[in-house]
Structure 1
Amino acid sequence: MRPSKKDQIIAAAIDIITEGGMAAVTMDAVAAKAGVSKGGLLYHFPTMVALHEGIHEKLAADWEQEMEHLAGGTADEVDRDTRTEAFIRSMAEKSTPAELIVTVHAITTPNMSASWDAVEARWSPPPPDDDGRGSNAFAARLAADGLWIHNANTPTTPAEKARRRHLIDHLVEWARTPDEQV
Protein backbone atom coordinates (compact mmCIF):
# COMPACT_ATOMS: atom_id res chain seq x y z
CA MET A 1 0.00 0.00 0.00
CA ARG A 2 1.31 3.43 -0.92
CA PRO A 3 1.76 5.89 1.90
CA SER A 4 -0.76 8.72 2.03
CA LYS A 5 0.39 12.16 0.97
CA LYS A 6 0.16 13.23 4.61
CA ASP A 7 2.48 10.36 5.65
CA GLN A 8 4.78 11.18 2.73
CA ILE A 9 4.99 14.80 3.87
CA ILE A 10 5.76 13.82 7.48
CA ALA A 11 8.44 11.36 6.31
CA ALA A 12 10.02 14.10 4.19
CA ALA A 13 9.99 16.50 7.15
CA ILE A 14 11.66 13.88 9.35
CA ASP A 15 14.34 13.35 6.69
CA ILE A 16 14.96 17.09 6.63
CA ILE A 17 15.25 17.15 10.41
CA THR A 18 17.82 14.35 10.24
CA GLU A 19 19.83 16.27 7.65
CA GLY A 20 19.59 19.79 9.06
CA GLY A 21 17.59 20.04 12.28
CA MET A 22 14.25 21.70 12.98
CA ALA A 23 15.39 25.02 11.52
CA ALA A 24 15.76 23.35 8.12
CA VAL A 25 12.06 22.43 8.08
CA THR A 26 10.42 25.03 5.87
CA MET A 27 7.25 24.64 3.85
CA ASP A 28 9.23 24.93 0.61
CA ALA A 29 11.85 22.39 1.67
CA VAL A 30 9.25 19.87 2.86
CA ALA A 31 7.12 20.24 -0.27
CA ALA A 32 10.18 19.72 -2.49
CA LYS A 33 11.42 16.73 -0.49
CA ALA A 34 7.94 15.14 -0.40
CA GLY A 35 7.41 15.72 -4.12
CA VAL A 36 4.20 17.66 -3.59
CA SER A 37 3.18 21.17 -4.49
CA LYS A 38 3.24 23.79 -1.77
CA GLY A 39 -0.56 23.94 -2.13
CA GLY A 40 -0.72 20.18 -1.56
CA LEU A 41 1.39 20.55 1.55
CA LEU A 42 -0.78 23.42 2.81
CA TYR A 43 -3.91 21.32 2.24
CA HIS A 44 -2.66 18.80 4.82
CA PHE A 45 -0.71 21.19 7.04
CA PRO A 46 -1.98 24.76 6.68
CA THR A 47 0.60 26.19 9.08
CA MET A 48 4.10 25.39 10.29
CA VAL A 49 2.60 24.70 13.72
CA ALA A 50 0.27 22.10 12.17
CA LEU A 51 3.23 20.49 10.40
CA HIS A 52 5.24 20.40 13.63
CA GLU A 53 2.26 18.89 15.46
CA GLY A 54 1.99 16.25 12.73
CA ILE A 55 5.66 15.35 13.14
CA HIS A 56 5.28 15.04 16.91
CA GLU A 57 2.10 12.97 16.60
CA LYS A 58 3.69 10.60 14.08
CA LEU A 59 6.85 9.99 16.09
CA ALA A 60 4.93 9.62 19.37
CA ALA A 61 2.53 7.15 17.70
CA ASP A 62 5.48 5.17 16.30
CA TRP A 63 7.01 5.05 19.79
CA GLU A 64 3.79 3.77 21.31
CA GLN A 65 3.43 1.17 18.57
CA GLU A 66 6.98 -0.02 19.30
CA MET A 67 6.17 -0.39 23.01
CA GLU A 68 2.95 -2.26 22.21
CA HIS A 69 4.98 -4.65 20.07
CA LEU A 70 7.57 -5.14 22.83
CA ALA A 71 4.87 -5.62 25.49
CA GLY A 72 2.59 -7.82 23.43
CA GLY A 73 -0.39 -5.53 23.95
CA THR A 74 -1.58 -2.03 24.64
CA ALA A 75 -0.72 -0.21 27.87
CA ASP A 76 -4.10 -1.05 29.37
CA GLU A 77 -3.81 -4.74 28.39
CA VAL A 78 -0.48 -5.45 30.12
CA ASP A 79 0.70 -5.21 33.71
CA ARG A 80 2.93 -2.51 35.17
CA ASP A 81 6.14 -4.57 35.01
CA THR A 82 5.52 -5.35 31.33
CA ARG A 83 4.85 -1.67 30.57
CA THR A 84 8.03 -0.69 32.41
CA GLU A 85 10.10 -3.26 30.54
CA ALA A 86 8.69 -2.16 27.18
CA PHE A 87 9.39 1.48 28.05
CA ILE A 88 12.98 0.75 29.08
CA ARG A 89 13.68 -1.44 26.06
CA SER A 90 12.17 1.05 23.62
CA MET A 91 14.19 3.91 25.08
CA ALA A 92 17.44 2.02 25.42
CA GLU A 93 17.54 -0.07 22.25
CA LYS A 94 17.36 2.55 19.55
CA SER A 95 17.02 6.20 18.84
CA THR A 96 17.70 8.48 15.94
CA PRO A 97 19.07 12.00 15.80
CA ALA A 98 15.70 13.15 14.37
CA GLU A 99 13.85 11.70 17.38
CA LEU A 100 16.23 13.47 19.72
CA ILE A 101 15.84 16.78 17.88
CA VAL A 102 12.04 16.51 17.80
CA THR A 103 11.92 15.59 21.49
CA VAL A 104 13.99 18.65 22.40
CA HIS A 105 11.63 20.69 20.22
CA ALA A 106 8.66 19.29 22.20
CA ILE A 107 10.28 20.27 25.48
CA THR A 108 11.25 23.77 24.37
CA THR A 109 8.21 24.76 22.29
CA PRO A 110 4.89 25.57 23.96
CA ASN A 111 2.10 23.09 23.27
CA MET A 112 4.26 20.59 21.34
CA SER A 113 4.63 17.93 24.02
CA ALA A 114 1.01 16.72 24.24
CA SER A 115 1.50 13.67 21.99
CA TRP A 116 4.63 12.61 23.86
CA ASP A 117 3.09 13.28 27.29
CA ALA A 118 0.08 11.07 26.52
CA VAL A 119 2.26 8.12 25.48
CA GLU A 120 4.58 8.58 28.42
CA ALA A 121 1.67 8.73 30.87
CA ARG A 122 0.47 5.33 29.66
CA TRP A 123 3.86 3.58 29.62
CA SER A 124 6.47 5.22 31.85
CA PRO A 125 7.07 4.10 35.41
CA PRO A 126 5.85 6.93 37.65
CA PRO A 127 8.17 8.82 39.99
CA PRO A 128 8.63 7.17 43.39
CA ASP A 129 5.94 7.78 45.99
CA ASP A 130 6.63 9.68 49.23
CA ASP A 131 7.92 6.48 50.87
CA GLY A 132 10.35 5.82 48.01
CA ARG A 133 8.38 2.89 46.57
CA GLY A 134 8.98 2.68 42.86
CA SER A 135 12.48 4.15 43.09
CA ASN A 136 14.18 1.28 41.26
CA ALA A 137 11.77 1.32 38.31
CA PHE A 138 11.98 5.08 38.01
CA ALA A 139 15.77 5.12 38.30
CA ALA A 140 16.01 2.42 35.62
CA ARG A 141 13.73 4.56 33.44
CA LEU A 142 16.02 7.57 33.91
CA ALA A 143 19.04 5.45 32.99
CA ALA A 144 17.19 4.27 29.86
CA ASP A 145 16.50 7.93 29.00
CA GLY A 146 20.24 8.59 29.20
CA LEU A 147 21.01 5.57 27.06
CA TRP A 148 18.48 6.81 24.52
CA ILE A 149 20.37 10.11 24.22
CA HIS A 150 23.68 8.24 24.07
CA ASN A 151 22.40 5.96 21.30
CA ALA A 152 21.30 8.90 19.16
CA ASN A 153 24.85 10.24 19.20
CA THR A 154 27.04 7.11 19.21
CA PRO A 155 27.90 4.86 16.26
CA THR A 156 26.72 1.30 16.72
CA THR A 157 29.33 -1.42 16.37
CA PRO A 158 28.63 -5.10 17.05
CA ALA A 159 30.51 -4.84 20.37
CA GLU A 160 28.53 -1.72 21.31
CA LYS A 161 25.24 -3.50 20.49
CA ALA A 162 26.23 -6.40 22.76
CA ARG A 163 27.11 -4.00 25.60
CA ARG A 164 23.80 -2.20 25.16
CA ARG A 165 21.81 -5.45 25.24
CA HIS A 166 23.55 -6.44 28.47
CA LEU A 167 22.92 -3.02 29.99
CA ILE A 168 19.26 -3.04 28.91
CA ASP A 169 18.75 -6.47 30.50
CA HIS A 170 20.34 -5.12 33.69
CA LEU A 171 18.04 -2.08 33.69
CA VAL A 172 14.96 -4.27 33.25
CA GLU A 173 16.09 -6.51 36.11
CA TRP A 174 16.77 -3.45 38.30
CA ALA A 175 13.32 -2.03 37.54
CA ARG A 176 11.71 -5.28 38.70
CA THR A 177 13.78 -5.53 41.90
CA PRO A 178 11.88 -4.51 45.03
CA ASP A 179 13.26 -1.20 46.32
CA GLU A 180 14.36 -2.58 49.67
CA GLN A 181 16.69 -5.10 47.97
CA VAL A 182 19.06 -2.56 46.44
Structure 2
Amino acid sequence: MRESKRDNILDAAARVVEREGVRAVTYETVAAEAGLTKGGVVYHFTSREDMVTALHEHMAGVWEQGMVAAVGMPAAEASETQRLVGYARAAMQCATRAEMLFQLEGSTNAAHAAPWNEVLNRWVPPAPTDTSDPIATEQFLARLAADGLWAYESLTSTPLAPDFRAALANIIASRIPDTTSAEELPATD
Protein backbone atom coordinates (compact mmCIF):
# COMPACT_ATOMS: atom_id res chain seq x y z
CA MET A 1 0.00 0.00 0.00
CA ARG A 2 1.31 3.43 -0.93
CA GLU A 3 1.86 5.74 2.02
CA SER A 4 0.07 9.08 1.75
CA LYS A 5 1.83 12.43 1.87
CA ARG A 6 -0.22 13.23 4.98
CA ASP A 7 1.20 10.14 6.73
CA ASN A 8 4.69 11.06 5.53
CA ILE A 9 4.25 14.52 7.04
CA LEU A 10 3.05 13.04 10.34
CA ASP A 11 5.94 10.58 10.42
CA ALA A 12 8.31 13.49 9.77
CA ALA A 13 6.69 15.46 12.59
CA ALA A 14 7.16 12.47 14.92
CA ARG A 15 10.87 12.40 14.02
CA VAL A 16 11.10 16.12 14.85
CA VAL A 17 9.49 15.45 18.24
CA GLU A 18 11.81 12.48 18.85
CA ARG A 19 14.86 14.60 18.15
CA GLU A 20 13.88 18.09 19.34
CA GLY A 21 10.68 17.90 21.41
CA VAL A 22 7.07 18.93 20.91
CA ARG A 23 7.70 22.68 20.73
CA ALA A 24 9.92 22.15 17.70
CA VAL A 25 6.94 21.06 15.58
CA THR A 26 6.45 23.94 13.16
CA TYR A 27 5.52 24.09 9.51
CA GLU A 28 9.15 24.83 8.71
CA THR A 29 10.77 22.03 10.73
CA VAL A 30 8.24 19.44 9.58
CA ALA A 31 8.50 20.53 5.93
CA ALA A 32 12.29 20.28 6.06
CA GLU A 33 12.12 16.83 7.69
CA ALA A 34 9.55 15.60 5.17
CA GLY A 35 11.43 17.05 2.18
CA LEU A 36 8.47 19.27 1.27
CA THR A 37 7.77 22.95 1.05
CA LYS A 38 5.97 24.75 3.85
CA GLY A 39 3.03 25.09 1.43
CA GLY A 40 2.95 21.32 1.02
CA VAL A 41 2.47 20.93 4.77
CA VAL A 42 -0.08 23.76 4.96
CA TYR A 43 -2.10 22.04 2.21
CA HIS A 44 -2.67 19.07 4.55
CA PHE A 45 -2.85 20.99 7.85
CA THR A 46 -4.36 24.46 7.86
CA SER A 47 -2.97 25.26 11.31
CA ARG A 48 -0.25 24.03 13.62
CA GLU A 49 -3.03 22.93 16.00
CA ASP A 50 -4.58 20.77 13.22
CA MET A 51 -1.18 19.19 12.64
CA VAL A 52 -0.59 18.57 16.36
CA THR A 53 -4.06 17.06 16.81
CA ALA A 54 -3.53 14.81 13.78
CA LEU A 55 -0.11 13.86 15.13
CA HIS A 56 -1.66 12.74 18.43
CA GLU A 57 -4.12 10.54 16.51
CA HIS A 58 -1.41 9.21 14.19
CA MET A 59 1.08 8.42 16.96
CA ALA A 60 -1.56 6.74 19.12
CA GLY A 61 -2.47 4.62 16.09
CA VAL A 62 1.16 3.65 15.47
CA TRP A 63 1.52 2.79 19.16
CA GLU A 64 -1.56 0.57 18.96
CA GLN A 65 -0.20 -1.12 15.84
CA GLY A 66 2.84 -2.07 17.93
CA MET A 67 0.56 -3.76 20.47
CA VAL A 68 -1.36 -5.56 17.73
CA ALA A 69 1.95 -6.78 16.28
CA ALA A 70 3.11 -7.90 19.74
CA VAL A 71 0.11 -10.21 20.24
CA GLY A 72 -0.81 -10.91 16.63
CA MET A 73 -4.39 -9.67 16.91
CA PRO A 74 -6.43 -6.56 17.65
CA ALA A 75 -7.47 -5.79 21.21
CA ALA A 76 -11.08 -6.86 20.57
CA GLU A 77 -9.91 -10.41 19.80
CA ALA A 78 -7.33 -10.70 22.60
CA SER A 79 -7.87 -11.85 26.17
CA GLU A 80 -7.19 -9.44 29.02
CA THR A 81 -3.86 -11.17 29.63
CA GLN A 82 -2.88 -11.02 25.95
CA ARG A 83 -3.74 -7.32 25.80
CA LEU A 84 -1.58 -6.53 28.83
CA VAL A 85 1.27 -8.64 27.44
CA GLY A 86 0.96 -6.72 24.16
CA TYR A 87 1.08 -3.43 26.05
CA ALA A 88 4.15 -4.48 28.03
CA ARG A 89 6.00 -5.73 24.95
CA ALA A 90 5.11 -2.69 22.87
CA ALA A 91 6.13 -0.34 25.68
CA MET A 92 9.51 -2.01 25.74
CA GLN A 93 10.09 -2.86 22.10
CA CYS A 94 8.55 -0.19 19.93
CA ALA A 95 7.35 2.73 22.08
CA THR A 96 9.32 5.87 21.38
CA ARG A 97 10.43 8.99 23.17
CA ALA A 98 8.20 10.99 20.81
CA GLU A 99 5.16 8.97 21.88
CA MET A 100 5.96 9.55 25.54
CA LEU A 101 6.49 13.27 25.02
CA PHE A 102 3.25 13.53 23.10
CA GLN A 103 1.32 11.58 25.72
CA LEU A 104 2.67 13.91 28.40
CA GLU A 105 1.87 16.99 26.35
CA GLY A 106 -1.55 15.64 25.45
CA SER A 107 -2.53 15.01 29.05
CA THR A 108 -3.21 18.73 29.48
CA ASN A 109 -5.65 18.92 26.56
CA ALA A 110 -8.76 16.69 26.41
CA ALA A 111 -8.81 16.55 22.60
CA HIS A 112 -5.14 15.56 22.47
CA ALA A 113 -5.49 13.02 25.29
CA ALA A 114 -8.53 11.32 23.72
CA PRO A 115 -6.74 9.10 21.15
CA TRP A 116 -4.18 7.96 23.76
CA ASN A 117 -6.90 7.20 26.30
CA GLU A 118 -8.91 5.24 23.73
CA VAL A 119 -5.89 3.04 23.05
CA LEU A 120 -5.18 2.59 26.76
CA ASN A 121 -8.81 1.71 27.45
CA ARG A 122 -8.67 -1.03 24.81
CA TRP A 123 -5.37 -2.53 25.99
CA VAL A 124 -4.94 -2.22 29.74
CA PRO A 125 -7.26 -2.76 32.68
CA PRO A 126 -7.93 0.24 34.90
CA ALA A 127 -5.79 0.76 37.98
CA PRO A 128 -7.10 -1.26 40.90
CA THR A 129 -8.54 0.72 43.79
CA ASP A 130 -7.08 -1.55 46.49
CA THR A 131 -4.74 -4.51 46.85
CA SER A 132 -7.39 -7.09 47.79
CA ASP A 133 -7.29 -8.56 44.27
CA PRO A 134 -3.76 -9.99 43.90
CA ILE A 135 -4.13 -10.65 40.17
CA ALA A 136 -5.24 -7.07 39.42
CA THR A 137 -2.41 -5.78 41.60
CA GLU A 138 0.18 -7.98 39.85
CA GLN A 139 -1.15 -6.86 36.45
CA PHE A 140 -0.86 -3.23 37.46
CA LEU A 141 2.70 -3.77 38.70
CA ALA A 142 3.58 -5.24 35.30
CA ARG A 143 2.10 -2.17 33.61
CA LEU A 144 4.10 0.12 35.90
CA ALA A 145 7.28 -1.84 35.14
CA ALA A 146 6.70 -1.52 31.39
CA ASP A 147 5.92 2.19 31.76
CA GLY A 148 9.01 2.68 33.91
CA LEU A 149 11.31 1.07 31.38
CA TRP A 150 9.71 3.09 28.60
CA ALA A 151 10.29 6.25 30.65
CA TYR A 152 13.89 5.21 31.29
CA GLU A 153 14.50 4.72 27.58
CA SER A 154 12.79 8.01 26.76
CA LEU A 155 14.62 10.13 29.30
CA THR A 156 18.14 8.72 29.42
CA SER A 157 21.02 9.50 27.13
CA THR A 158 22.24 5.92 27.55
CA PRO A 159 19.71 3.58 25.94
CA LEU A 160 19.58 -0.08 26.86
CA ALA A 161 21.13 -2.62 24.51
CA PRO A 162 18.36 -4.01 22.26
CA ASP A 163 18.85 -7.60 23.48
CA PHE A 164 18.68 -6.52 27.12
CA ARG A 165 15.62 -4.38 26.44
CA ALA A 166 13.88 -7.32 24.74
CA ALA A 167 14.82 -9.62 27.63
CA LEU A 168 13.30 -7.17 30.11
CA ALA A 169 10.11 -7.01 28.04
CA ASN A 170 9.90 -10.80 28.09
CA ILE A 171 10.45 -10.91 31.87
CA ILE A 172 7.70 -8.36 32.46
CA ALA A 173 5.34 -10.17 30.08
CA SER A 174 6.07 -13.53 31.74
CA ARG A 175 5.06 -12.13 35.14
CA ILE A 176 1.60 -11.08 34.00
CA PRO A 177 -0.87 -13.49 35.58
CA ASP A 178 -3.17 -15.30 33.18
CA THR A 179 -6.75 -14.30 33.97
CA THR A 180 -8.16 -17.04 31.75
CA SER A 181 -7.23 -19.76 34.24
CA ALA A 182 -7.38 -20.26 37.98
CA GLU A 183 -3.63 -20.77 38.31
CA GLU A 184 -1.77 -19.12 41.16
CA LEU A 185 0.28 -16.00 40.70
CA PRO A 186 3.84 -16.54 39.49
CA ALA A 187 6.41 -16.87 42.26
CA THR A 188 8.32 -13.69 43.10
CA ASP A 189 12.07 -13.55 43.42
TM range (shorter): 0.7 to 0.9
SS of the equivalent of 2:174 reads helix
SS of the equivalent of 1:3 reads coil
SS of the equivalent of 2:140 reads helix
Percent of residue pairs identical: 35
Scaled by the length of structure 2, the TM-score of the pair is 0.82
Shift in alpha-carbon separation, 1:2–1:138, aligned structure 2, 3 A: same
Scaled by the length of structure 1, the TM-score of the pair is 0.85
Aligned-residue CA RMSD (Å) = 2.3
Gaps of 5+ in 2: 179-183
Matched, 1:84 2:81: no
Kindly state the Cα deviation for residue 50 of structure 1 after the two structures are TM-superposed. 1.1
SS of the equivalent of 1:76 reads helix
Kindly state the Cα deviation for residue 23 of structure 1 after the two structures are TM-superposed. 1.4
Q: 1:137 aligns with which of 136, 139, 144?
A: 139
Which residue pairs with 1:155 in the alignment? Answer: 159
Q: Map Cα deviations across residues 146-170 of structure 1 (whole Å, 9 max, x no partner).
A: 0111122332336xx33x3443333
Shift in alpha-carbon separation, 1:15–1:165, aligned structure 2, 3 A: closer
1:25-36 matches, cutoff 5 A: 25-36=25-36
Distance 1:58 1:29 in 2: 18
1:46-61 matches, cutoff 5 A: 46-61=46-61
Which residue pairs with 1:103 in the alignment? Answer: 103
User: How many residues end up aligned between the 2 structures?
Assistant: 179
Q: Which runs of 4+ in 1 moved over 4 A?
A: 177-182
Which residue pairs with 1:42 in the alignment? Answer: 42
Q: Map Cα deviations across residues 75-122 of structure 1 (whole Å, 9 max, x no partner).
A: 111111111111111112343322222222112344211111000000
Which residue pairs with 1:171 in the alignment? Answer: 172
Gaps of 5+ in 1: none
Q: Map Cα deviations across residues 2-56 of structure 1 (whole Å, 9 max, x no partner).
A: 4211012112211221222111111122223323333332221111111011111
Shift in alpha-carbon separation, 1:91–1:27, aligned structure 2, 3 A: same
SS of the equivalent of 2:77 reads coil
